[in-house]
Chains A and B, each alone.
Chain A
Amino acid sequence: MTKVTGVTEVKIPVSGIGIRHKATESIALIGNPNAGKSTLFNRLTGLRQTTANFPGVTVEKHLGTVQLEHSAISLVDLPGIYSLDGISADERIAVDVILGRMEDTHRPSGLLVVIDATHIYQGLYLLEQLLELQLPTMVALTMMDAATANGISIDIEALQAALGGIPVYPVSSISGHGFDELKQGLEHITSIEVPVIPASWPELSKTAQQLALQLGEDWQRIDVIQALLQTHPDLAGKLGEQLGPDTVTNLRSKLFGDAPPAAAEARQRYAWVKNVIAEVQEHTPLYLKMSARLVRWTNRPWPATLLFFAVLMLVFQAVFTWATPLMDVIDGASSSLGHWIVTQMGQNAFSSFLADGVIAGVGSVIIFLPQILILFLFIIILEDTGYLARTSFLMDRVMRSVGLSGQSVIPMLSSFACAVPAIMATRVIPGRKDRIATILAAPFMTCSARLPIYALLIAAFVPNDSVGWMNLQGLVLFGLYLLGILGGLGTALLLKSTALKGPKPRFMLALPEFRTPNLQTVAIKLYDRGRIFLKRAGTVIFTVAIGVWVLAYYPRMDVEQYQSSLTENQATQSQGINAPSAENAQSAAQMSQSWLGRIGRKIEPVFKPLGWDWRVSSAVVAGFPAREVVVAVMGTIYAVGSDADEQSLAEKLRAATWPDGRPIFTLPMVLGLLVFYAWCLQCAATLAIIRRETNSWRWPIFAWTYMTTIGYVGAFVIYQAGSMFL
């Protein structure tokens, strides 16, 4: 989900496929949100897909190839939309792609429209709008099993007839029913003829068709429709120029009466859809069964709130307890590998580079892969079951108290994974001020990159005890998540009552049903997340770890300096202060006169009021571009600065002392450091996305300054107050 730029490819050979055809036609996959589009896409393309971004916008473009018996087609998955009105950014992009207005993206030669069999009401509305494009169109009717379970039966032939003969293929992504027929149909998609005048609003279609012919080559029917409906302001202006404003006004009042065009369109087309449903469907429940039962429970005020917190608690418990065995394996493997390298190659610059720079640095981040995958597994499941969307209904009240609406809940909850896609998800929020307030609140939520630091410090300094049925470490982690939520909500409240004061936000949202998540979809998403994390570890973190190793290893100390450091050490020992061993003292002395040590001591005064020594300070400073780097830097610093490489990083942190022997990582200092990480904005990708989504430098600069300041102040207050009382 951090794919901001560039193209990432997933190419895994799939067995059982004979001849590979080269894709000739490009087909767009389009449908309502939650209509089962991505499941269908995955099922059709397997793993032969690539993900990129549409040029100039941060909307993901999924491309895949579908192998058919005699040919292959390339499939473009578009964002889920309800209409072509272009109200949201996603809708505008989908429309631009289909109409060939999008740079670098070919105009598709056909449309595969996905309609959820349990929601044909909204599905047919979008389909009727799409038919105005006059492109070869076919329909995949998904969720047939859910429809059957709810007693919905659809007369496919009658439906095809009502749609003017365009083919409709019922499919079930769970059982795979209907996919052979759908693929056979796709083979001939470009020869499908769509009705010239779609049935839902013949007056509009005819008027637009005539005008398009009259206006010449520049105009297609859909352009005229968008101009008349005023859903495309530029086209509306152009039409006014070409026909004269009076003619356009007359046309509008003839077509729409005195209602707003969009309202007239909804009335007109939905009236037709309603009649079609009466013809093709015997029984239409007002509400789906399985959903109804679950919703009753999950929406009752108190059970729902309890359930919400229980779910969050479960996630944090799982992140700690389930991941431990796997993390121990990775930890053991990386430290014995480092140790083995040093014993095989001896103590020299190159072995130190491999063991202390590469393995200790990158390894200390990779160790968190199991935790991050568990976190993502939960988030993906919550997303795919529809629970995440439901929470926006539940939380609308809470959000209203800070001046936002339930629509801000989904971005804020998906920030638990990563703030970058979360900030993109704010595009569904209609008001600009509400959107910016949500964008600035989202980075406070505990993202997966904060997890390594939290986990490291908690594992090192919070005892692994039980409090009732809860694990104390899990409880502290939960507290840190709460701290993030408080920071986010507080920020929203502050902004909404000052700089971003505005009208009360509206709240309207189509709520998806509860669904059993599709295993393949979950697996693909999880694989994607793991890949992104490892890629970052292999590139950004790897580079920083090497850079830090160089700074920490050079320049080497000469013998004289070493002698003097020893004498100094003996002096402190004779004073009876608990001083480090002679060997460690040598490493520490080397470390402290390295470039990193010199730079570190320059910045130490800034962070000394927080109880941080120069090593913690330089790790934190190095972490400003990407916060998980901090763990890698600490891994390298403490590996170069000690001889005992079998020790875990947590043990090294516990043993770290000030020159006079006092421990650095005291309880107030650790708590302060955790608070700093809960609130500080250490993520260049987030700043870049804020810049892109708000279209100004003002907001990213504000966010960075504001979050860094309150992180620093929070850590300062806790350290100073804690040191006074403890």
Chain B
Amino acid sequence: MTLADMAPGDTATLEKIDTSDPGVIRLMILGMVEDITVRLENVAIGGDPLEVGFFGSSVSLRKEQARHFKVKRIPASD
């Protein structure tokens, strides 16, 4: 499962990042690295771009880059 397959409100841990896309590296500099917990906060009209929240920040990215982030969904606690 990748970041692009998450539904709004889903929480997940970033498992593995494919660094072949320079855009992905830019996102890593903003803090999207392995082992952090992210939440898919919002999806714009038409399902793209996405907005991801982590550590109180939010970053917007397109699905194309989101596919490079393998995630493990954290099931909702309730």
Write the residues of chain A forming the contact surface with B, with a CB cutoff of 8 angstroms: 82-83, 85, 87, 118-119, 121-122, 125, 150, 152, 259-260, 262-263, 266-267, 270-271, 274, 277, 284-288, 291-292, 295-296, 299, 301, 305, 392-394, 396-397, 405-406, 430, 504, 506-511, 513
Contact = CB atoms under 8 A, between A and B. Distances in A.
21 contacts: A82-B30, A121-B55, A150-B56, A152-B56, A263-B19, A263-B25, A266-B33, A267-B34, A284-B56, A287-B56, A295-B51, A296-B42, A393-B44, A394-B44, A396-B44, A397-B45, A506-B65, A507-B60, A508-B26, A509-B61, A510-B58
A270 B33 CA distance: 7
From B11, B25, B54, residue with most partner A Cβ within 10 Å:
B25
Contact of B58 (A150, A287, A301): A287
Given A286-B55, A287-B53, A507-B62, A266 B25 contact: yes
B14 to A, nearest CB: 11
B29 interface: yes
A118 B54 CA distance: 11
Contacts of B39: 286-287
B5 interface: no
Contact of B35 (A87, A271, A504): A271
Interface residues of B, number: 39
B75 interface: no
Contact of B30 (A122, A263, A392): A122
Q: 8 tightest A-B contacts by CB?
A: A121-B55, A266-B28, A287-B53, A301-B45, A506-B23, A263-B19, A270-B33, A299-B42
Given A121-B31, A274-B36, A397-B44, A508 B56 contact: no
Interface of B: 11, 17, 19, 23-31, 33-39, 41-42, 44-46, 48-49, 51, 53-62, 64-65
A283 to B, nearest CB: 10
A119 B58 CA distance: 10
A87 B26 contact: yes
Contacts of B38: 286
A666 B29 CA distance: 59
B56 A119 contact: yes
Contacts of B29: 82-83, 85, 87, 262, 266
Given A393-B44, A393-B49, A396-B44, A286 B28 contact: no
A416 B33 CA distance: 37
A510 B30 CA distance: 8
Contacts of A125: 31
B57 A119 contact: yes
Nearest to A300: B42
Nearest to A292: B41
Quick one: which of A295, A393, A430 has the most chain B CB within 10 A?
A393
A146 to B, nearest CB: 10
Contacts of A506: 23, 26, 62, 64-65
